[in-house]
Amino acid sequence: MKLPSRPQDKIIIALDVPDTDGALRLLDSLGETPALCKIGLELFTAEGPSVVKAIRSRGSAVFLDLKFHDIPNTVAHAVRSAAGLGVAMTTLHASGGPMMMEAAAKAASEEGGRDLLLLAVTVLTSMDTLQLASTGIDVDPEAQVLRLAGLAHQSGISGIVCSPKEIQSARASFGEGLRIVTPGVRPIWAAAGDQKRIMTPRDAVQAGADWLVIGRPITAADHPKEAYARVVAELA
C-alpha cells in the first residue's frame, strides 16, 4: 500500500458507530470523502461485509480492524477473507506468535491479497505498565512494543499498530520500511478518553507515524466537518 502524500490522507477516520446508516451519515458530515476509514468490531459485528462494500462505494479505502488472534490456520483464512473484501489494511495481534503471523503473511501475499497491508497490533493504547503487569508482562509498554514489533518484522508482517509514545523507538529500530499506524491521537483541544499513551496529530506525524487513527475528536465533535478540517490544517 502506498504511503499517503497529502496531510488528509494520513488520517484514518474511525467509524465507531453501531450501524451502516450511522457510518454513512458520519461520512456525509465530514464535507469530503476520507481516504481511509476504520471499521472495527462494533460496526462489523453488527453489519458484516455489507458495511465494507458500503464504505468502499463512497470512495474510501477500508481499514478492517478486527485484531485477529487465533490458531494459524484460522487467522490465515480470515486474512484471505479480508483480502476478498478488498480492504486496504487489516490487523492481527502480534502476541499470537510467529507461526500465526507467518501464516497470515503468506495468506496476504497470495493472489488477491497482494495490496493488503497487514498490521501487527503490539500494545493497546489503553494499557500502561500497571495494566501490563496485571497480565503477567513485567516490562514497560515501550519494551513490549519493540519486542512484538521485532517478532512481527521477522514473521513477514509489513506494519505495526502502536501508541504515539513508541513511534520514534520503533522507527529507529526498524527503519522506514516498517509501516506505522497510530491510534491514541488527540488534538490539544480534545479529551483523552480511555486511552493512556497519547499525542497530538502533528507530534505523532513528526515522530514518524504513517497513518493516524482518529475517532471521537472528529466524529463526536459538535461540528465534525470543522473538527476534521482543523486536524488537517494542523498536519499541513
The full set of domains in the chain, from first to last, is: 7-235 (3.20.20.70)
Determine the Cα–Cα distance for residues 37 and 13; give it in Å rounded to an integer.
5
Largest distance between two CA atoms of the chain: 46
pLDDT digits (tens, 9 = 90+) for 50-101: 999 999 999 999 999 999 999 999 999 999 999 999 999 999 999 999 999 9
Give the catalytic positions in this structure. Answer: 67
Determine the Cα–Cα distance for residues 80 and 195; give it in Å rounded to an integer.
31
For the record, the C-alpha cell of 223 comes out as 461540528
Tell me what pLDDT residue 196 has. 54
Half-sphere exposure of 84 (CA within 13 A, CB side): 9
Least confident of 177-181, 189-193, 229-233: 189-193
Please report which confidence band the pLDDT of residue 190 belongs to, taking 50, 70 and 90 as the band edges: low
Three-class secondary structure of residue 108 per DSSP: helix
For the record, the C-alpha cell of 28 comes out as 456525509
Quick check: 230 pLDDT over 60? Answer: yes
Three-class secondary structure of residue 235 per DSSP: helix
Residue type for position 13? I
Tell me what pLDDT residue 22 has. 97
